């Protein structure tokens, strides 16, 4: 009788091990399937995923002059637009300027406190530049896409005036890519017909200047 009990316990133990192994095998199979599905996703789709800006209304569909769009952050009206698609090479940095927009913004009341750090106006014009920067080297490079910007009126802005705050400035890792927007509130009422932007120098991790910054004039 004892032998039968021992045999019964042994069969249960073996059955448990088999079940556990099957479960582990299924888990591994599921991981492989998920990995294959992930690898099939176009990398460009993942890299180009839009991340909403927390301060400013999404303007991607704003392409016609005097067109207006609004959301919970406020109301935007397009005043000027230029699709640029021009690339500057600053040492190992490839910087593509995608487009420039001048917009009138009426922030929602909930956003007023944020913008009061830049202007005391309840509504204002601003210029926005969409860029993508890539570090083609194998070393970290310090770079700011728009170190300074000058309007045709003579109004001058620096990177410290940027309202988008999308972390496009500073360190760019080896083979790293950053993309997004930099925007600057305009204090003068003006008819914007052009801008001139200046990049920073491309600076190595030791503080050495790899190449001086470049400037680009854009007519709107």
Please indicate, yes or no, if residue 69 is contained in any of the structural domains.
Answer: yes
Regarding whether 140 and 74 lie in a shared domain, the answer is: yes
Q: Return the pLDDT at 132.
A: 98
Please indicate, yes or no, if residue 170 is contained in any of the structural domains.
Answer: yes
Regarding whether 34 and 94 lie in a shared domain, the answer is: no
Distance in angstroms (rounded) separating the CA atoms of residues 211 and 91: 5
Q: Return the pLDDT at 192.
A: 86
Range of the domain at 140: 53-219
Regarding whether 153 and 77 lie in a shared domain, the answer is: yes
Regarding whether 68 and 26 lie in a shared domain, the answer is: no
Regarding whether 190 and 102 lie in a shared domain, the answer is: yes
Regarding whether 97 and 198 lie in a shared domain, the answer is: yes
Q: What are the residues facing 158 on neighbouring strands? A: 148
Number of folded domains that form the chain: 2
CATH of the domain at 135: 2.60.40.1240
Regarding whether 186 and 144 lie in a shared domain, the answer is: yes
Distance in angstroms (rounded) separating the CA atoms of residues 82 and 86: 11
**List of long-range contacts for 50-58, beta carbons under 8 Å, 24+ apart:** 51/180, 53/164, 53/166, 53/181, 55/111, 55/114, 55/115, 55/163, 55/164, 55/165, 56/105, 56/128, 56/163, 56/164, 56/183, 57/105
Distance in angstroms (rounded) separating the CA atoms of residues 157 and 219: 17
84 contacts 100 by C-beta, under 8 angstroms: yes
Regarding whether 101 and 150 lie in a shared domain, the answer is: yes
Please indicate, yes or no, if residue 104 is contained in any of the structural domains.
Answer: yes
Q: Return the pLDDT at 189.
A: 66
Three-state DSSP at 72 gives coil
Q: Return the pLDDT at 117.
A: 95
Distance in angstroms (rounded) separating the CA atoms of residues 31 and 27: 6
Strands 141-143 and 74-90, sheet pairing: unpaired
Within the chain, which residues score under 70 in pLDDT? 1-49, 189
Please indicate, yes or no, if residue 46 is contained in any of the structural domains.
Answer: no
Regarding whether 114 and 11 lie in a shared domain, the answer is: no
Distances (CA, A) of 41 to 31, 36, 132: 16, 9, 22
Regarding whether 141 and 176 lie in a shared domain, the answer is: yes
- pTM comes to 0.77
């Amino acid at each position: 009788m004892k032998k039968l009990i021992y045999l019964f316990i042994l069969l249960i133990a073996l059955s448990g091990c088999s079940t556990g192994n099957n479960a582990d095998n299924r888990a591994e199979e599921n991981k492989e399937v998920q990995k294959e599905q992930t690898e099939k996703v176009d990398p460009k789709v993942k890299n180009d995923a839009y991340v909403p800006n927390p301060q400013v209304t999404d303007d991607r569909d704003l392409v016609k002059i005097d067109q207006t769009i609004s959301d919970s952050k406020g109301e935007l009206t397009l005043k000027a637009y230029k699709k640029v698609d021009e690339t500057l090479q600053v040492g190992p940095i490839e910087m593509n300027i995608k487009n420039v927009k001048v917009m009138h913004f009426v922030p929602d009341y909930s956003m007023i406190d944020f913008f009061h750090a830049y202007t005391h106006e309840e509504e204002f014009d601003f210029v926005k530049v969409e860029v993508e920067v890539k570090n083609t080297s194998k070393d970290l490079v310090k770079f700011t896409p728009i170190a300074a910007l000058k309007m045709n009126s003579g109004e001058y802005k620096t990177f410290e005036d940027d309202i988008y705050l999308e972390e496009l400035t500073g360190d760019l890792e080896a083979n790293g890519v950053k993309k997004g927007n930099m925007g600057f509130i305009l204090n003068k009422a003006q008819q914007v017909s052009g801008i001139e932007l200046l990049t920073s120098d491309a600076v190595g991790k030791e503080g050495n200047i790899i190449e001086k910054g470049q400037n680009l004039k854009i007519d709107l």
